Structure 1
Amino acid sequence: MSRNKETGRKIRLMRKVNQNRRVPGWVIMRTDRKVTQNPYRRHWRRNNLKL
């Protein structure tokens, strides 16, 4: 990727960065461990983004 990115691409990349987090502990507690995984988790080396 280029060093200088356009604003729209940066916003989309930041959205993906924020999505790539684990489910908070309070959510796991509140749902009695029914929700433990985040379906949007992604590893930077295994999966590519379509931007």
Structure 2
Amino acid sequence: MTKWKRPAVKIRLAKKLGQTKWAPFWTVPKIFGKNRKVHPGRHTHIKRSWRRGSRIKP
């Protein structure tokens, strides 16, 4: 990407960056039960990573 980004593009990318996070750990017992050990990323709706190949359009 360019060195100088348009403000609208920066805002859009910042919003998409927030969607890369896992769900909070306390949601796991609520969804899967108390005794089940599951990674919080398993029930996160939108998963983005630089390895996944999904390109965010600026």
Distance 2:5 2:57 in 1: 15
Task: Using the TM superposition, give the Cα deviation of residue 50 of structure 1 relative to its aligned residue in structure 2, in angstroms.
Answer: 2.2
The 5 A counterparts of 1:12-27 are 12-27=12-27
Task: Using the TM superposition, give the Cα deviation of residue 44 of structure 1 relative to its aligned residue in structure 2, in angstroms.
Answer: 1.2
Offset from partner CA, 1:6-34 (integer Å, 9 cap, x none): 11111111111111000101222333x28
Q: Please, what is the CA RMSD of the aligned residues?
A: 2.1
Structure number with greater Rg is: 2
- Secondary structure at the aligned position of 1:39 is classed as coil
Selected match of 1:42 from 26, 48, 55: 48
Give the structure-1-normalised TM-score: 0.73
User: Structure 1: any 5+ residue segments left out of the alignment?
Assistant: none
User: Structure 2: any 5+ residue segments left out of the alignment?
Assistant: 34-39
Q: Percent identity between the aligned chains? A: 28
Provide the aligned length of Structure 1 versus Structure 2.
Answer: 50
